[in-house]
Amino acid sequence: MGSKDKNLQALPAKFNVYLNISFSNLTAASPVLLFNLLTSLKITMGTEITKPRFFALLTTLSLLVAGALSAQNPSIFNTLGQVANQEVTMVLDFESLNELRKKDESFPAQIRYKQANGDSLSWNVKLSVRGRYRRLFCDFPPLKVVFPKKDLQAKGLANFNDLKWVTHCFEDHESDEHLLREYLAYGLYQQISPYSYRTQLLKVTYINTHKPNQKIVRFAFIVEDDAEISQRLRLKECKDCFVAHRDSLDLKSENSVAVFQYMIGNTDWSITKGQKNVKYFKPLSGGKMVVIPHDFDFSGFVDAGYAVPATGTNIQTVKERAFLGFKADKAIWNETLDLYKSKQNAFIQFIEAFPHLKENSKKESIRYLNSFFSRDAGKLLASQSN
């Protein structure tokens, strides 16, 4: 690789440094601005910025600028996380919720809540039903919530306008325990990797639009927008990577995800047989794609009544474990398992400190995790050494 090519590869990182130093002077992300910036940088880099090179870099640099600009404003996800045990009211048509569970159509709703300063916020949003199994069989299926961008801008918020809204599924209160354990699963992985989705726990009052006295009060949690995690971690999602080849992946990231799925007893995911319940993101700074997992309701850690193991795993219940990741070299295995072992006490403390889970549910969750550390982690390492 020539020196000019190396300089071009390094340019996004140099541009990011420029933003951090001189952001106050940056007022627009126009092609003219970017071209002038690139031209000025060529003096120190010794690289000619011709039009073909300019347009090749324009997309990446535009993403960096947009990310820097968005970072100055909080997001709707952030506002919903300012208050502990955030109480939210969602007014929606219960009939539309049931009628549209098999369709990719949206319907209107209203969301209301109070901010940390006591001010009330009200949003007119669009809802649609999401998920695979849960959209068909849950009494209250999971939702996608889309906020109007113009309304977000009017409130001084970033343009990240859609959220995954995870619901309680069935009307029995055991479903609350399942939802809370899935929320904890996201929190466990946040302690393992920075490449993880953030979540916010909510206490939601659902009100039927046409029957205001018909209310459901349950826990829910939201998952941050894909565009937001991309901006926050300086990533670009690969949206058409249904099959990700081993050579295209950061193998440490893949192994970390695969061990996590094994630890929580989740076989409802895939990389090796096509993309399922994971997403792939490429760092803007360069390097191979990282893997970020989501949707853990079929795991043994959550232990939902409807959960079953994936076919071909040779296990009978979700409380058993099956490894579905790639084989990795010894150095990666040792690094991953050492990281997990170092987090065991933090995992236990995290669960014990969570105030909303019943005590017997906490004990079972901790017992299940401890079985990974005391028994199954060793089995996994031995099986991968053969």
Across the chain, where does the E strand assignment appear?
A: 86-92, 107-114, 120-129, 143-146, 162-166, 199-208, 211-223, 235-237, 278-283, 290-293
Report the run of H or E that residue 152 belongs to, with start and end. helix 149-154
Mean pLDDT of 29-36: 41
- 332 pLDDT higher than 90: yes
Model pLDDT for residues 102-132, shown as the tens digit of each residue: 898 999 999 999 988 889 999 999 999 998 8
Cβ 93 vs Cβ 209: under 8 Å: yes
**Identity of the amino acid at 280:** Y
Residues contacting residue 241 through CB under 8 Å, at least 6 positions apart: 248, 275, 280, 289
The band of 233, judged by pLDDT with boundaries at 50, 70 and 90, is: very high
Residue 61's pLDDT is 53
Within 10 A of 342 (CB to CB), how many other CB atoms are there?
A: 9
Cα dihedral value 165, 168, 171, 177, nearest 10:
-170
Residues contacting residue 246 through CB under 8 Å, at least 6 positions apart: 326
Residue 23's pLDDT is 35
The two structure tokens encoding residue 249 = 């992946």
CA-CA distance, 185 to 42, in Å (whole number)? Answer: 47
Within 10 A of 302 (CB to CB), how many other CB atoms are there?
A: 23
Give me the residue spans of the domains in the chain.
3-70, 76-226, 234-385
- Distance of alpha carbon 233 from the chain centroid: 11
**DSSP structural state of residue 324:** -
Cβ 292 vs Cβ 281: under 8 Å: yes
Model pLDDT for residues 275-329, shown as the tens digit of each residue: 999 999 999 999 999 999 999 999 999 999 999 999 999 999 999 999 999 999 9
Model pLDDT for residues 130-184, shown as the tens digit of each residue: 988 889 899 999 999 999 999 999 999 999 999 999 999 999 889 999 999 999 9
CA-CA distance, 80 to 84, in Å (whole number)? Answer: 9
Mean pLDDT of 198-216: 96
Q: How far apart are the first and last CA of the chain?
A: 38
Residue 2's pLDDT is 53
- 361 pLDDT higher than 60: yes
Handedness of CA 112, 143, 281, 341 (dihedral sign): positive
Q: Which of 169-173, 233-237, 249-253, 376-380 has the lowest mean pLDDT?
A: 169-173
Strand order in the sheet with 278-283: 235-237, 278-283, 290-293
Average pLDDT, the chain: 86
Residue 168's pLDDT is 95
